[in-house]
């Protein structure tokens, strides 16, 4: 070219307001935003470039559509808190140079970082670290992104004495690695991050926990420091108040205090013991579930807890689910397996004789207990266990019945969830992944049926493209509790795979064999998890129809004992769960204890009540309902129970 300069490539950039402009190659989104806004973009944390989140200072090298990422977005919160975790790591390395770094991701509502340090962190250490973090924030240290060769990165972190980073790098196949530097501190990370530490507002370190490296009990135990961060202190304060409310509602504490359930080391972690009071509420849930399924034209089936290992090979669980299954046991030289799923049993029932199109749809439901291996580190009260009872159902239908069956399953789901007090949801429609079984036409028909069922009910939902399971599309429903926390419960899944694997058929009107479509469906998810959610949703103060004890009779003195026994028996004969506290204690103490036990109604009996053949009735809230005849009280209670009121 004889010294001629080559003009820089120009880029066509679509701006956040959808206007299009031309810029020089290498310009950053930050520079563009300054140009069009006249100042530094204060609340912009990062940007999406052609749909991918990137650093705001990353040079642009190709035509792009730019979208802004703020803290108000899901990506923004994740970037903000992941950046805070890096600041935490920087601070810990300054204060404790011997600490070795593991990983530090953003999590829902916060972040954590795992450290390997010979001595244990204390609460005083957390306070010291928190103060150090605020100093780093005030220093406004930039996050600088660098790309280096993988071998160079391994050598770098080896010299820095960071064996966990080296191990991560050795498992990565990419030749180019991304690191982020803040001053002298450098960390392995894909990013993106906020431009500098000064972007972070309010930070709170919440707790310390143990965590095995890579979740493996055979690997080193690390110290996990949890924290959260928000743009300003008022948001942080609101969140901390919410955390206090969550602690008050912790189902593990309430389960112990209200004597509902326990998990014992003598039995084994993740295996639940239902105490009498918890078992009462479980029975009520089960009876309601069964009654509503019979009304919806389901039939109830039962299946064993174990089956031959071959069954799980045929179903595909050995290929796709082995790590969550327990080791087989040998019986008469044949290997048997604790069941992780109920579906193969229902299919075997289906195959017990030839089915006609006139029998379809077939709807079979089961409260089936299954067993799945979970690492001890992730077990959590009733919410993550190793043995649990699924409220399972499987529907076998013809292709032209599919939409009606999905609609029926969705209607039953919404009715049952609403009856328990849940009417706000997050709903996801997951569509065909890259690897799938079945025909495209069946996938399209099933996905359309799922989508139409949601639209007909005006249920807002998000589409998760490609996130369906390999055997079919699905709807997942997360219920929102009183604190607006989302809990995964319902799943409605269309399955083209198991009917194929087990070669199940029905004889059609034409006299030929045809393949049915199978729907997997669980409404509450599992009784254990759902019960834990109910405890936290109601803070243990169950509505009357679900309360293990609905009324307690409190005689003021021994002289009212016989009349109190009569009242207790009359309530029990009326189908009201009642107990009698006839201890020789002051009635004030009895009222306090009944309130702590969250019993909905207290019936107080003194000399006047005995004389007038009445009862003084009081709610657990403290509201005094006055003196009433027992017949009137029974009518009031039965009306409330029958209506299944949740408030």
The string of DSSP letters for 381-397 reads TTTB-SEEEEEEEEEEE
Which of 326-340, 429-443, 478-492 has the least mean pLDDT? 429-443
If asked whether residues 216 and 95 sit together in one domain, one would say yes
Q: How far apart are CA 498 and CA 519, in angstroms?
A: 10
In percent, the amount of the chain with pLDDT more than 90 equals 83
If asked whether residues 238 and 289 sit together in one domain, one would say no
Quick check: 388 pLDDT over 50?
yes
pLDDT at 315: 87
Which residues make Cβ contacts (< 8 Å) with residue 463, sequence separation at least 6?
Answer: 428, 429, 430, 431
The count of domains in the chain is 4
When pLDDT is cut at 50, 70 and 90, the band that residue 8 belongs to is: low
Last residue of a domain, one of 508, 536, 564: 536
Please confirm, yes or no, whether 346 is among the known catalytic residues: no
Quick check: 620 pLDDT over 90?
yes
Q: How far apart are CA 641 and CA 643, in angstroms?
A: 5
If asked whether residues 119 and 142 sit together in one domain, one would say yes
Contacts 24+ apart (CB under 8 A), 264-272: 268/386, 269/376, 269/379, 269/386, 270/374, 270/376, 270/379, 270/384, 270/385, 270/386, 270/387, 271/385, 271/386, 271/387, 272/382, 272/385, 272/387, 272/388, 272/528
Q: Which of 77, 282, 386, 390 is catalytic?
A: 390
Question: With contact defined as beta carbons under 8 Å apart, do 468 and 432 qualify?
Answer: yes
Which tens digit of pLDDT belongs to each residue from 577-603?
A: 999 999 999 999 999 999 999 999 999
Please confirm, yes or no, whether 390 is among the known catalytic residues: yes
Establish if 5 belongs to a structural domain. no
Question: With contact defined as beta carbons under 8 Å apart, do 25 and 10 qualify?
Answer: yes
Q: Bigger pLDDT: 317 or 642?
A: 642
If asked whether residues 45 and 87 sit together in one domain, one would say no
Cα angle value 637/640/643 (rounded, 5°) = 145
Give the bridge partners for 395, in sequence order: 363, 519
If asked whether residues 357 and 297 sit together in one domain, one would say yes
Nearest CA-CA partner of 46 in 14, 18, 81: 81
Tell me the average pLDDT across 64-75: 92
Q: Which of 474, 537, 577, 620 is catalytic?
A: 474
Q: Which of 30, 91, 189, 343 is catalytic?
A: 343
pLDDT at 496: 87
pLDDT at 223: 96
Which of 3-7, 41-45, 189-193, 220-224 has the least mean pLDDT? 3-7
Average pLDDT, the chain: 93
Establish if 322 belongs to a structural domain. no
Burial 497-507 (b: 16+ CB within 10 A, else e): bbbebbebbbe
Record the pTM: 0.85
Please confirm, yes or no, whether 392 is among the known catalytic residues: yes
pLDDT at 300: 97
If asked whether residues 605 and 513 sit together in one domain, one would say no
If asked whether residues 114 and 235 sit together in one domain, one would say yes
Find the radius of gyration of the CA atoms of the chain.
30
If asked whether residues 513 and 609 sit together in one domain, one would say no
If asked whether residues 460 and 485 sit together in one domain, one would say yes
Helix (H, G, I), strand (E, B) or coil at 324: helix
Q: Tell me the CATH number at 568.
A: 3.40.50.800
Q: How far apart are CA 276 and CA 548, in angstroms?
A: 9
Q: How far apart are CA 633 and CA 639, in angstroms?
A: 10
Q: Which of 77, 100, 251, 372 is catalytic?
A: 372
pLDDT at 40: 53
Q: Which of 86, 394, 537, 618 is catalytic?
A: 394
Tell me the average pLDDT across 620-641: 95
**Which segments of 513-623 does DSSP mark as H helices, in order?**
527-537, 561-573, 587-596, 607-612
Which of 15-24, 88-97, 387-396, 578-587 has the least mean pLDDT? 15-24
Question: With contact defined as beta carbons under 8 Å apart, do 222 and 213 qualify?
Answer: yes
Establish if 586 belongs to a structural domain. yes
Q: How far is CA 274 from CA 368, 383, 391, 479, in A?
A: 16, 14, 17, 24
pLDDT at 430: 92
Tell me the average pLDDT across 140-169: 95
Tell me the average pLDDT across 18-24: 91
Tell me the average pLDDT across 57-84: 93
Which tens digit of pLDDT belongs to each residue from 506-524?
A: 999 999 999 999 999 999 9
Which of 261-265, 316-320, 425-429, 503-507 has the least mean pLDDT? 316-320
Could you give the angle at which helices 123-139 and 74-95 cross, rounded to 10 degrees?
A: 110
If asked whether residues 473 and 489 sit together in one domain, one would say yes
Establish if 319 belongs to a structural domain. no
When pLDDT is cut at 50, 70 and 90, the band that residue 157 belongs to is: very high
pLDDT at 3: 43
When pLDDT is cut at 50, 70 and 90, the band that residue 125 belongs to is: very high
Quick check: 398 pLDDT over 90?
yes
Tell me the average pLDDT across 489-497: 91
Q: Tell me the CATH number at 447.
A: 3.30.930.10
Please confirm, yes or no, whether 372 is among the known catalytic residues: yes
If asked whether residues 99 and 168 sit together in one domain, one would say yes
Burial 407-417 (b: 16+ CB within 10 A, else e): bbbbebbbebb
When pLDDT is cut at 50, 70 and 90, the band that residue 193 belongs to is: very high
Quick check: 503 pLDDT over 90?
yes
Establish if 86 belongs to a structural domain. yes
Which tens digit of pLDDT belongs to each residue from 287-319?
A: 999 999 999 999 999 999 999 999 988 988 888
Please confirm, yes or no, whether 520 is among the known catalytic residues: yes
Last residue of a domain, one of 220, 248, 276: 248
Establish if 633 belongs to a structural domain. yes
Q: Which of 100, 145, 363, 520 is catalytic?
A: 520
Strand 110-116 to 100-101 pairing: antiparallel
Give the bridge partners for 85, in sequence order: none
If asked whether residues 496 and 421 sit together in one domain, one would say yes
pLDDT at 2: 42
Q: How far is CA 393 from CA 77, 198, 501, 518, in A?
A: 38, 53, 19, 10
Quick check: 6 pLDDT over 50?
no
Tell me the average pLDDT across 444-451: 90
Q: Tell me the CATH number at 203.
A: 3.30.980.10
When pLDDT is cut at 50, 70 and 90, the band that residue 4 belongs to is: very low
Establish if 45 belongs to a structural domain. yes
Burial 41-68 (b: 16+ CB within 10 A, else e): beebbbbbbeeebbbbbbebeeebebbb
Question: Domain span at residue 140?
Answer: 74-248
Establish if 129 belongs to a structural domain. yes
Q: Tell me the CATH number at 38.
A: 3.10.20.30
pLDDT at 41: 62
Quick check: 647 pLDDT over 80?
no
Tell me the average pLDDT across 60-72: 92
Last residue of a domain, one of 51, 69, 87: 69
């Amino acid at each position: 070219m004889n010294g001629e300069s080559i003009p820089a490539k120009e880029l066509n950039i679509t701006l956040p307001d959808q206007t299009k402009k031309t810029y020089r190659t290498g310009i950053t989104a930050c520079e563009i935003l300054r140009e069009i806004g006249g100042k530094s973009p204060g609340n912009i944390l990062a940007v999406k470039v052609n749909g991918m989140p990137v650093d705001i200072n990353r040079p642009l090298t190709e035509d792009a559509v730019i979208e802004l990422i703020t803290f108000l977005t899901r990506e923004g919160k994740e970037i903000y808190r992941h950046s805070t975790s890096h600041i935490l790591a920087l601070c810990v390395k300054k204060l404790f140079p011997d600490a070795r770094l593991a990983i530090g991701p953003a999590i829902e509502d916060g972040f954590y970082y795992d450290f390997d340090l010979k001595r244990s962190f204390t609460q005083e250490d957390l306070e010291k670290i928190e103060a150090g973090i605020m100093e780093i924030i005030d220093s406004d240290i930039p996050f600088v992104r660098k790309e280096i060769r993988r071998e160079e990165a391994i050598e770098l972190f080896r010299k820095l004495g960071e064996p966990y980073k080296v191990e991560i790098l050795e498992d990565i196949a990419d030749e180019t690695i991304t690191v982020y530097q803040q001053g002298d501190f450098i960390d392995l990370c894909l990013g993106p991050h906020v431009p500098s530490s000064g972007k972070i507002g309010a930070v709170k370190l919440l707790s310390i926990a143990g965590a095995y490296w890579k979740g493996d009990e055979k690997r080193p135990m690390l110290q996990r420091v949890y924290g959260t961060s928000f743009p300003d202190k008022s948001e942080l304060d609101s969140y901390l108040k919410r955390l206090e409310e969550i602690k008050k509602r912790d189902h593990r504490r309430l389960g112990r205090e209200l004597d509902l359930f326990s998990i014992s080391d003598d039995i084994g972690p993740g295996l639940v013991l239902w105490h009498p009071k918890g078992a009462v509420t479980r029975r009520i849930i089960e009876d309601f579930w069964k009654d509503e399924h019979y009304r919806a034209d389901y039939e109830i089936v039962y299946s064993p807890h174990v089956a031959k290992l071959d069954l799980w090979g045929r179903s595909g669980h050995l290929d796709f689910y082995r790590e969550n299954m327990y080791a087989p046991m040998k019986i008469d030289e044949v290997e048997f397996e604790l069941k992780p799923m109920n579906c193969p049993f229902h299919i075997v029932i289906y195959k017990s004789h030839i089915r006609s199109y006139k029998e379809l749809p077939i709807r079979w439901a089961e409260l089936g207990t299954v067993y799945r291996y979970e690492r001890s580190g992730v077990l959590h009260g009733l919410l993550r266990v190793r043995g649990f009872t699924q409220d399972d159902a499987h529907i076998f239908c013809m292709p032209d019945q599919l939409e009606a069956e999905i609609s029926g399953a969705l209607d039953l789901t919404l009715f049952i969830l609403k009856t328990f007090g849940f009417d706000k949801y997050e709903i996801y429609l997951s569509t065909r992944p890259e690897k799938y079984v079945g025909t495209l036409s069946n996938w399209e028909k099933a996905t359309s049926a799922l989508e139409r069922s949601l639209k007909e009910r005006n249920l807002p939902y998000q589409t998760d493209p490609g996130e369906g399971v390999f055997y079919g599309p699905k709807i997942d429903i997360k219920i929102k509790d009183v604190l607006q926390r989302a809990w995964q419960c319902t799943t409605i899944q269309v399955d083209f795979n198991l009917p194929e694997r087990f070669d199940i058929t029905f004889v059609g009107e034409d006299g030929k064999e045809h393949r049915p479509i199978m729907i997997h469906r669980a409404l509450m998810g599992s009784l254990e998890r759902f019960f834990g959610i109910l405890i936290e949703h109601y803070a243990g103060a169950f509505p009357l129809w679900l309360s293990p004890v609905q009324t307690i009779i409190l005689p003021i003195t021994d002289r009212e004992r016989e009349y109190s026994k009569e009242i207790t028996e009359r309530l029990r004969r009326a189908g009201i769960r009642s107990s009698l506290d006839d201890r020789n204690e002051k009635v004030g103490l009895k009222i306090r204890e009944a309130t702590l036990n969250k019993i909905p109604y207290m019936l107080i009996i003194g000399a006047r009540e005995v004389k007038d053949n009445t009862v003084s009735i009081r709610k657990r809230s403290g509201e005094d309902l006055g003196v009433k005849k027992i017949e009137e009280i029974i009518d009031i209670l039965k009306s409330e129970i029958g209506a299944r009121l949740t408030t």
